[in-house]
Amino acid sequence: MLRIVLLAALALGVAVSSHASSLAPSVLFTAVRDGVLTVRTFDAEGAPIGTVSAIAVATERFVTLCSPLDGSDAIRLAEAGGRTVDARVIARDRGRNLCLLSASANARTLAVAPAGAQPRVGSRIYALSDALGFGVGLTEGVISGLGGGERGELLQFSAPVSPGSEGGALLDEQGRLIGVIDYRQREGQNVNFAMPAAWASMIEARHDTDTALQSLRDRAPRLARVGDGEALVRLAMEWTRLYPEDADGWTWRAVAASMQGDFVGEEAAWRHAVLRAGSMTVAELGVAGALLRQQRFAEAREAAAALVGTRPESAAAWSLLGQAHHGSGGVSEAETAYRKALALDPWEMSAHLGLISLAGQRGDHRVAAEGWSRLVRLYPSRPELRWRLVEALLFAQDGTRAHKLLARFPSELADSADGLFWRGATAALLGRPQAASELFRASLAKGPSEPARAWTELGKALFVLERFPEAIAAMREAVRIAPDDPDHRYWLAVALKDGGHLDEAIRINRDLSVAYPNEPRIWRQLGYAQVLAARAPEGIEALERSLALDPGQPRVWNALMILYRAAGRRADLVRAHGNLRSLDAAMAERAYLATIHPDEARPQ
């Protein structure tokens, strides 16, 4: 039936006439703008899941991709004027990942280019879609190849597209529909794919009537969204039992195994998916990713290199190669691979995160902050990225910029539990511990995403205010929530030491020094606590151990000078003074006058 409607629309010349000459881009956009609508999906609570595009192919009929709709509880179409209407799926062509929607939305049906007017390589084309949820827009490019995809049926084009473009329209110079954009197929910013427009008229004839299988496809992403790995494992096992040759079932089985930390099982499931799909880039990438999570870096590097060899335009494969090099210590090779991934696809999240991690490893917090800033611009609807940007600015000791950034956040973010936490952390860096403690308490009252961290930061603010009993209580709560996190135990020991609970502080630091023997700050705090407990020889030994790991600690050298003098160790005192002078001349001069000069000036 839809095919008849489409042919009738063509015969009547709906939208842009098939006989029109090439149009200027601005004129073309005006003519076709209402032919693509935004698709928004929501969960059962009404929270947004994602945004894609849909093409008006007939009155109240729209075509988009199926996979972004799976697991959604509500689908709405947004018109150009902002009005939204409910939509429902009335037919699915699972083999081609195309869905037909019904919605009473106002739209302009796009004319389809006739079969004899299909584009040639080099032909100018336009991509009309809602990229990144910013509204429907137009990008320009050319047909760069025909016969793309595993069966040679896809159109390859160079017009830039982004997340959200999937389901959008590929148009010729006359504004006629020639393809449906499939962003998932994209393996480079200038290597994008679209399915032939003729496939839109075949959806009803190829409709998948297996409602049991569709139920599995809808339930799996819902379970993944709420993090119910156990239930997802059960569903995926049932899926692969009922449909053992369905690669999607094995894909979800891999996802479920990964959520449960079973990376060996994840690898096995991905390999089953590869076998059943013949050649499936997602599953092949999954195998390499599972090897990475098992820290089998050499095998992961080999798998990723093989993918790069066969799919050099795959940004995800280059990113995985970077992660494999990164894991095995190949910093330079990792950076090269990450940058290659981003040259192909500026939205490749894992490559951005890899470069940020490399910057953090070398202590370049400014570059790390720039990386988070780019991600915030690319993914403006992801608030957690804004928090990571604030965190990077704080690591860079740029509290002023962090404060200005937070001041620009909308109130629903700034006054959220996490917003209050980061405002507190910024206030602490700016030397406002009282304000910081109040903000941390407000954050905890609302339930931040990292409660243990919030309790520790509250404890630090109270520590600065010398409210030691409260600081200790806050840090004990952090340890209770996350007992395996050494950072919380470390700061509890610091508060206990300054609060006069020396034996407990020493015990915690001793335990930490056994578990983390190469951590200088632990040995430093152990040494301080032992000195305060009148165990100077043990304290000196611990402070020396700290300096052996990190000699760039002027305050520790200063403390050792005092201790060496008291112990009568003049040679060590002079040596410590020389080391301190190379780090902080002013502090060294004061320490000299207090520890060395009195003995030099004393009459013999």
pLDDT at residue 277, rounded to an integer: 84
Residue 95's SS3 state is: coil
Strands (DSSP E) found in 59-136: 61-65, 74-78, 84-93, 98-102, 124-129
- 434 and 316 co-located in one domain: no
First CA to last CA distance, the chain: 113
Quick one: tokens of 272?
A: 């089953």
Per-residue CA distances from 163 to 229, 339, 449 (Å) = 26, 19, 26
- Tell whether 409 and 281 lie within a shared domain: yes
- Report the b/e string of 392-422 with b at 16+ CB within 10 A: bbbbbebbeebbebbeebeeeeeebbbbbbb
Q: Tell whether 253 and 338 lie within a shared domain.
A: yes
pLDDT in tens, 546-588: 999 999 999 999 999 999 999 999 999 999 999 999 999 999 9
Percent over 70 (pLDDT), the chain: 93
Burial code (b: 16+ CB inside 10 Å, e: under 16) for 529-549 equals bbbbeebeeebbebbbbbbee
pLDDT above 50: residue 2: no
pLDDT of res. 8 = 36
Question: Does residue 13 have a pLDDT over 70?
Answer: no
Q: pLDDT (tens digit, 9 = 90+) per residue, 120-154?
A: 899 999 999 998 778 899 999 999 988 766 556 88
Q: What is the pLDDT of residue 190?
A: 55
Q: How far apart are CA 66 and CA 97, in angstroms?
A: 5
Average pLDDT for 419-432: 98
**Same-domain pairing of 495 and 547:** no
158: tokens are 């160079």
Let me know: does 427 contact 395? Beta carbons within 8 Å.
Answer: no
Are 242 and 194 contained in the same domain? no
Same domain, 158 and 219: no
Summarised one tens digit per residue, pLDDT across range 247-274 is 999 999 999 999 999 999 999 999 999 9
SS3 113: coil
How many whole angstroms separate alpha carbon 440 and alpha carbon 177? Answer: 55
What residue spans of 311-382 are helical by DSSP H? 315-327, 331-344, 349-361, 365-378
- Does position 206 have pLDDT exceeding 60, yes or no? yes
Residue 353 has pLDDT above 50, yes or no: yes
Identify which of 141, 135, 247 has the alpha carbon closest to the alpha carbon of residue 194: 141
Distance (Å, whole) CA 517 – CA 350: 32
- Beta-bridge mates of residue 74: 42
Spatial separation of the C-alpha atoms in residues 184 and 192, rounded to whole Å: 9
Could you report the per-residue pLDDT of 471-513, keeping only the tens digit for each? Answer: 999 999 999 999 999 999 999 999 999 999 999 999 999 999 9
Residue 581 covered by a domain: yes
pLDDT value of position 152: 62
Query: 415 and 442 share a domain?
Result: no
279 vs 329 pLDDT, higher one: 329
| Amino acid in position 263 | F
Which positions ≥6 away from 7 have C-beta within 8 Å? none
Joined together, the tokens standing for residue 179 give: 């393809």
Residues 587 and 454 in one domain: no
User: Is residue 142 within 8 Å of 158, Cβ to Cβ?
Assistant: yes
Domain count, the chain: 4
Asked whether residue 416 carries a pLDDT value surpassing 60, the answer given is yes
E strand or H helix at 180, and its extent? strand 177-181
Mean pLDDT of the chain: 92
Each residue's pLDDT tens digit, 280-322: 678 999 999 999 999 999 999 999 999 999 989 889 999 999 9
Q: Is 92 part of a structural domain of the chain?
A: yes
- 460 or 162, higher pLDDT: 460
Arithmetic mean of pLDDT, 461-471: 98
Whether residue 216 sits in one domain with residue 358: yes
pLDDT band at 5 (very low <50, low <70, confident <90, very high): very low
pLDDT confidence tier of residue 119, bands split at 50, 70 and 90: confident
> What tokens does 285 get?
């990438």
CATH assignment at residue 478? 1.25.40.10
pLDDT, mean of residues 194-217: 94
For residue 321 the two structure tokens come to 């190669």
Helix then strand then coil, % of the chain, to nearest 5:
60, 15, 25
Report the C-alpha gap between 512 and 488 in whole angstroms. 11
Contacts 24+ apart (CB under 8 A), 530-536: 530/506, 531/559, 531/563, 532/497, 532/502, 533/502, 533/503, 533/506, 536/563, 536/566, 536/567
CA-closest candidate to residue 419, choices 384, 373, 395:
384
Q: Where are the beta strands (DSSP E) in 183-325?
A: 192-196
The answer to whether the CB of 556 falls within 8 A of the CB of 588 is no
Given 150, 175, 202, the domain boundary residue is 202
The verdict on residue 207 lying in a domain is no
Are 443 and 522 found together in one domain?
no
Comparing C-alpha atoms, which of 466, 464, 387 is closest to residue 421? Answer: 387
Q: What's the pLDDT score for residue 601?
A: 58
Same-domain pairing of 407 and 314: yes
CA atoms within 13 A on the CB side of 141: 21
CATH number at residue 127: 2.40.10.120
The pLDDT confidence band at residue 20, using thresholds 50, 70 and 90, is very low
The Cα angle at residue 599 between residues 598 and 603, in degrees rounded to 5:
100
- Compute the average pLDDT of residues 425-440: 98
pLDDT band (50, 70, 90) for residue 231: very high
End-of-domain residue from the set 500, 516, 531: 500
CB proximity list for 389: less than 8 A, separation 6 or greater = 369, 372, 373, 375, 376, 405
Whether 510 is in a domain gets the answer yes
Are residue 14 and residue 140 in the same domain, yes or no?
yes
pLDDT at 338: 98
* Residue at a domain's end among 202, 224, 246: 202
The residue range of the domain holding 449 is 425-500
